[in-house]
Amino acid sequence: MKFTLHQETHVGKRPSNQDRLGHWRTPESVLLVVADGMGGHAHGEVAAELTMRHIAAAFKRDAQPRLANPDLFLFRAVGRSHGMLLREAQALRLDDSPRTTVVACVVQEGRAYWSHVGDSRLYLVRQGEVLVRTRDHTLVQQMVDEGKLRDEDAGRHPAHNRLLQCLGGAQTPRILPTAHARLERDDIVLLCSDGFWGPLSEREILSGLQGSGLAEAIARLAALAQERAGAECDNVSALALAWGEDAAPYRDGPRTVPLAEMSTEIQDFGATDPDFLRMTDDDIERAIAEIKTALKRRDS
């Protein structure tokens, strides 16, 4: 695999850095993770750290040397991170469970697969355009989807940071089967916390990624995010991969979901299956198949 990687993380104006980011690889697979611990709850940095380690440990165990099913891997690893945080909180006798957002991506066989909970984002940038951006699990994103708020006004709304989903909260997060996309030469896969993307417009992110090396571009955008946010600057974190191979041959499978078609309305396993966190791999695969069938019916 041919690619370059760069990551940046800064504390901003916060007392500590509650973001965590990392990448792991085998000869045939790469895992990228960004987790943003929720500062409004105790031990946000612990939640982010534990989530990152949990997903990384699963990758190290299962990628031998590649994942048999990246879709299943992400669905299971992200979903079970929630139960892991609840168990840790109980074991440590914490009054409030530590919480975090997360975005995780696997790159394998020339394709990127991703999953997220909360408002940490993934962008897939191709030839100066955003091909894909994850939809935030936030109140303002829901308002945008319902036509009650313009997308360009979302960042200035008083409730812009109100999350509808996270890991470690009282409500079981709703996990979609992953989307995936074939990568083309010079594509950029960008994972970032809201402290990075929040102060920046999409146009500024695209402009910043053009015309320079990946390390310089990400460092410059992180610095701009800090400058723009000023005294209210959150932790700023970004992890980017620039792909260096031609597109892999096409094969049937989940299509890349364009930004306009993504939805924050996701099946809630917690409401239908109280034992979701103890589902077997076979149960999860059946659940994924059922959701994909439902999505195909909706789109047909």
The domain that holds 115 is classified in CATH as: 3.60.40.10
CA angle 35, 39, 43 (to 5 degrees): 80
pTM for this prediction: 0.84
**CA separation, residue 65 to residues 22, 25, 28, 182 (Å):** 19, 9, 6, 20
Q: What is the DSSP letter of 65?
A: S
Percent of the chain topping pLDDT 90? 68
**CA separation, residue 126 to residues 78, 183, 242 (Å):** 26, 9, 10
Spans of the chain below 70 pLDDT: 40-42, 251-300
Note the pLDDT tens digit of each residue in 201-256: 999 999 999 988 999 999 999 999 999 999 999 999 999 999 999 998 876 544 44
pLDDT at position 290 is 52
pLDDT at position 89 is 86
CA-based nearest residue to 122, from 188, 169, 170, 70: 188
> What's the CA gap between 51 and 74, in Å, rounded?
12
pLDDT at position 53 is 95
175 contact partners, CB below 8 Å, separation of at least 6: 75, 78, 79, 115, 117, 266, 269
Q: Do 17 and 235 meet the contact criterion of CB atoms below 8 Å apart?
A: yes
Q: How many domains is the chain built from? A: 1
> What's the CA gap between 47 and 294, in Å, rounded?
32
- Token pair 């439902």 is at which residue? 294
Which residue range forms the structural domain that includes residue 182?
3-299
